[in-house]
Amino acid sequence: MIRTETDIEECRKLWNMFSPSQDAWGDWDLMFAFHDQKNHRLNFLVHQTGDGNPDGLIPLVHDSKLNRYMLMAGSYPDGRILWLKNQDVPDFFAHFRDRTVLFDIRKSWVSSLLHPQFEASFAEEDLRYYLVPSEFGFDFYQHIETFSSDKKQKFLFDLRNIRKREPKLVWSDEKEADLFIELVNRNFGAESDYANPEDAEEIRRVINELERRAA
């Protein structure tokens, strides 16, 4: 059977029970910093055995502002997996409310676990862009050589312009969240992830959490 858990302390216990804690996205405190307590309501779906022991979890929240359900921490974490057993997918799927949206589920996980009858609901694919510096010996000039000629020239042109400004790297303990938000909003305008004050507040919460952990 599947039940819904909304109590924050119980949700924390369930998260820590199922999370593999292998990366930042598995850490409750950090993910809770992304959690918008004003607009999001915890709505964890818990699969239980016949004797009542939890054996599967999808950590959903209800976004009251957009009236939809999504994974806790929203769309920021990528490459996520759902903490459940293959045979329990139909049970969970039957308990999804209308307007349930799951962002950035790892493709390999979906491909290996998804039941054929649900493929249409997981048909939208997105691209992921990331670098693995160890794959090019941490030599970014070597990496630039893999660019197309046109892309390489544009990149080097931008790099020269940056050097003309004689930038300086400054290490400090100062919080630069507001500066970061200002720069992103200046460059992307209305399309910025932080044009909305509530989204801007999210990055402040995350930085505060990272500062707390470093103390």
Q: What is the pLDDT of residues 104-154, one digit of tens each?
A: 888 888 887 777 777 778 777 777 777 889 988 999 888 999 899 999 999
pLDDT computed for residue 117 by the predictor: 77
Helices 197-214, 177-188: crossing angle, 10 deg rounding: 150
CA distances from 23 to 19, 69, 132 (A): 10, 24, 16
pLDDT computed for residue 160 by the predictor: 93
**Which residues pair with residue 68 across a beta bridge?**
63
pLDDT computed for residue 77 by the predictor: 87
> Quick one: tokens of 167?
């930038």
Strand order in the sheet with 68-71: 40-42, 60-63, 68-71
pLDDT computed for residue 119 by the predictor: 77
CA dihedral (83, 27, 61, 179) in degrees, to 10, reads -140
* Residue spans of the chain under pLDDT 70: none
pLDDT computed for residue 51 by the predictor: 87
